[in-house]
Amino acid sequence: MNSHTHPSRVPMAAELIERRQESSDVFTLQLRLVDSQQREQYRFQPGQFNMVYLHGVGEVAISIVSDREDPTLLNHTIRAVGRVTRGLEQLQTGQQIGLRGPYGRGWPMEQAKSKDLVVVTGGLGCAPVVAAIHEVEQQRAAYGRLAIIEGVRHHQDLIYPDRFHHWEQMERTDVVLCCSHDKAAPWPWHTGRVTAHLDQLGFDLPDAVAMLCGPEGMMAAAAETLIQQGMSGDSIWLSLERNMQCGDGFCGHCQLGSHFVCRDGPVFNWSEIGGALKVKGL
């Protein structure tokens, strides 16, 4: 299951092809590896991440948002919150940065085949599932029904409106967008938390697979709701975000209990990680 393929620890040069502003503080960088041989050899699994290196500033772990059928263009959606990400935000087309990867364990795409799939995300958590949804779209007959539920706190937090509209047009696919705050704002979709919509799916949940990504409290609440409705913890998968600094499990910054999120995750199933998430301060 672990798709870690021992990527090079030396950053590869990558050129910025396009920069797209997704919201006031979230942007997407489209990168292309400069070396043609590295570009040809690079492959990733949905849910994996790259270490993105800004020379002289530092390095951050960012999930891969691309379509893996076209790994020559690598998209990373980033929130500008720290020194490195604010530096990345200032990049101009044609500038080069460093990139290591791909790292980590991705989504269980093989396990999900022939099953209904529930994707529950919150805020920027919708980015790490994009490649998985691409895969479902490209092999639509191999998967059952697909439900995509994205929650935001404020209506201006929603990114990828065009993607959600596109996914909504896919066969056997439902998209639910909900906003937990700003109930008086001009929001054309649903209000409330994502968990409020899980009992309206009409799925055979004991035989479905769930992919969750977002704030840990939201994922825990969604997982417990799905379990109450009959889903097994082994079928609920979460992508965790921790302080991943090396990508190899050496530095220990991302350790969660006995797991290193960068090496053993970032995707875990609820049965193996749910207990650790409930421990306050771990």
Q: Is 179 marked as a binding-site residue? A: no
Contact indicator for 179, 155 with CB cutoff of 8 Å:
yes
Q: Supply the DSSP string of 82-133, one letter for each residue.
A: SHHHHHHHT--TT-EEEEEEEESB---HHHHTTS-EEEEEEGGGGGGGHHHH
Compute the radius of gyration of the chain from its Cα atoms.
18
The token pair at 108 is 């269980």
Give dist(CA 235, CA 81) in Å, integer: 33
Q: Which of 76, 80, 98, 81 is nearest to 89 (CA)?
A: 80
Q: Residue 213 annotated as binding?
A: no
**126 is annotated as contributing to ligand binding:** no
- ∠ CA 236-267-148, nearest 5°, is 55
Residues annotated within the binding site are 246, 251, 254, 262
Residues annotated within the binding site for [2Fe-2S] cluster are 246, 251, 254, 262
